[in-house]
Structure 1
Amino acid sequence: MEELIARINELSRKHKTVGLTEAETEERARLRKQYLDVFKGNFRNQLDTIKWEGEEEPPKKH
């Protein structure tokens, strides 16, 4: 995950200074999507482990 973030940041810095090639723009979009998918999955796992007070089972997933 740290390598993923480092590469996204590297491409963002390059975009602000000299610009990106078409391939780099596509790579940045792909990496951002990958990062968000991992982030959402981790967040969902955290939410799924919460035990609600007064309930025997966690709420059903949507």
Structure 2
Amino acid sequence: MSTRPDKPCPICKKPRSAEFAPFCSARCRDRDLAQWFNDGYAVPGPAASPEDIAKED
């Protein structure tokens, strides 16, 4: 058994739900997904130029 306390929901800080882990509810899960869709989150690093993207294809 772990002595570390459970982490709260990353969106609203309420206790997590096993059904929606790591979130507390479907609402917080959907809010997080919307953040990704709307470019609310970003991976750090230099921006890729269009030429670099075309080389990968």
TM exceeding 0.5: no
Q: TM-score, normalization: structure 1? A: 0.34
Q: TM-score, normalization: structure 2? A: 0.36
Indicate the structure whose relative CO is greater, using CA pairs within 8 Å and at least 6 residues apart. Answer: 1
Instruction: Tell me which protein shows more helix as a share of its residues.
Output: 1
Q: Over alpha carbons, which structure has the higher Rg?
A: 1
